[in-house]
Amino acid sequence: MTRYESAREKYAALGVDTEQAIETLAGIPISLHCWQGDDVLGFDGSDALSGGIQTTGNYPGRARTPQELMDDIEKAVSLMPGKKRLNVHASYAFLGDDKGKIDRDAYEPRHFAPWVAFAKKLGLDGIDFNPTYFGHPMVKDGLTLSSPDEQVRAFWVRHGVVCRRIAQYFADEMGTPSLLNVWIPDGLKDVPADRLSPRIRLRRSLDEIFAEKLPGVIDAVESKVFGIGLESYTVGSNEFYQNYAATRGVCCLLDNGHYHPTEVVSDKIPALLAFHDRIALHVTRGVRWDSDHVVLFEDELREIATEIVRNDAVGKVLIGLDYFDASINRIGAWVTGQRSMEKALLSALLMPHDALRALQDTAQFGRLMFSFERQKMMPLGDVWEEYLSRQGLSEDWYGEIENYEKEVLVTRK
Ligand code: RNT
Ligand code: ZN
């Protein structure tokens, strides 16, 4: 008997079908953030990250050109199991001769055509999109869509409008809807004199951006608790966006680095599922703050995956990755994070959820605790290796990263 066969029997004894789990896992799309490869700089002129977010580290081999970034994504994707989407930021426009002539408020689908060709070449499931409200001179006094300066506010509204059309283009080209996520950095370093007016302006800006009906676009808004240098006030707070989303019929995007440290996104998912058909996630790992460390196979990630699976919300919860680590090989970071998400989903798919729920409903809490603890010692790794091998992959992948580093990355001086 192989290790997998033995694992299959052990799970079957708990009422879990490993074959079904493997099949389901292979069909769950994970959206890969293009910005891990170049420290979130983009192609349209920014040379430093701003907006209260930060990459730390100076590991050699950062992708400096669109081609390098695509090469790196291709390498990363070749080591990732499962179904993948690409998540692009507007700052990753291919401007060509339009550089310096066309600004972010006038980007067009054609500036993103190479991403479509690339995603098709890699056989990706679709492309998600994000307007880029940072790393640009029109961010005035740290503000964009909530700015009291009407020229600034209108510029960023136009940016949102053109970005949604680009997302519709991605949807048309790829044949799957495109998630369009709005995150803005707007906030204040110190005590505000007016907390309401910026939010009223943001509400208006969002209404203007989302006015056009675009059937292929899933609109989302991403809240945050604070940013670096913006510690005292965040315009787009959790309460603001949850109410915005609920009243406008758009989707909440939960970034698990964007809450107070003892709040957990795993509990927010079922709270929102009581009201929303769709939720989006930015999966990240905050260490002491929203540090965007590489995602690891940890307890809260498992709990997030468990809430998706046990509530039959695969397909309702759109999973995207959002971290940026410049202190280690960036391609290895991509793969580690994506595989961690996959492992968490597999672990969730291998739990006997109906039986566990029945224990809760009949108040058998001692047995429920016992069952959770027993679950932790089940041979998850054997099923994981089987899943990988069916996709032509293995657990021993880091050598590929080291070779690529030797052959490609070190030449980027
Ligand atoms: C910032 C948000 C946002 C960004 C990306 C680059 O705190 O998490 O999602 O990380 O858009
Ligand atoms: Zn995010």
pLDDT in tens, 94-116: 999 999 999 999 999 999 999 99
Q: Decide if 237 is inside a domain.
A: yes
Per the domain annotation, does 46 fall within a domain? Answer: yes
107 C-alpha vs ligand 2 centroid, how far in Å? 22
Question: Which residue, by CA, sits nearest to atom 10 of ligand 1?
Answer: 322
Burial of 303 (0-12, 13-18, 19+ CB in 10 A): middle
Q: Looking at ligand 1, which residue's alpha carbon is closest to its atom 11? A: 183
User: Which positions are annotated as active-site residues?
Assistant: 183, 222, 224, 255, 258, 282, 290, 292, 322
Per the CB < 8 A criterion, the answer to whether 86 and 124 are in contact is yes
- With a 6 Å cutoff on the Cβ, whether 40 touches ligand 1 is yes
Within a domain: 345: yes
Buried b (16+ CB within 10 A) or exposed e, 110-125: ebbebbbebbeeeebb
Query: Is 71 exposed, middle or buried (CB count within 10 Å of its CB: 0-12, 13-18, 19+)?
Result: middle
Q: How close is the Cα of 51 to the center of ligand 2, in Å? A: 12
Q: Is residue 319 part of a domain?
A: yes
Q: Which residues does 49 contact at the CB level (< 8 Å), separation at least 6?
A: 39, 40, 41, 55, 134, 135
pLDDT band for position 192 (cuts 50, 70, 90): very high
Q: Is 130 in the pocket of ligand 1 (CB under 6 A)?
A: yes
pLDDT tens for 241-253 read 999 999 999 999 9
Within a domain: residue 409?
no
Q: Give the number of C-alpha atoms closer than 13 A to the C-alpha of residue 371, restricted to the C-beta side.
A: 20
Is 395 inside a domain boundary?
no
Structural domain of residue 49, as residue ranges? 28-349
Considering only CA atoms, which residue is closest to atom 2 of ligand 1?
Answer: 183
With a 6 A CB cut-off, is 223 part of the ligand 1 pocket? no
- Determine the distance separating the centroid of ligand 2 and the alpha carbon of 290, expressed in angstroms: 9
> How many separate domains does the chain show?
1
Tell me: the pLDDT tens digits for 124-167? 999 999 999 999 999 999 999 999 999 999 999 999 999 999 99
- 275 domain-assigned: yes
Tell me if the pTM is above 0.75: yes
CATH code at 309? 3.20.20.150
Quick check: 393 and 81 in contact, CB under 8 A? yes
Q: Is residue 296 part of a domain?
A: yes
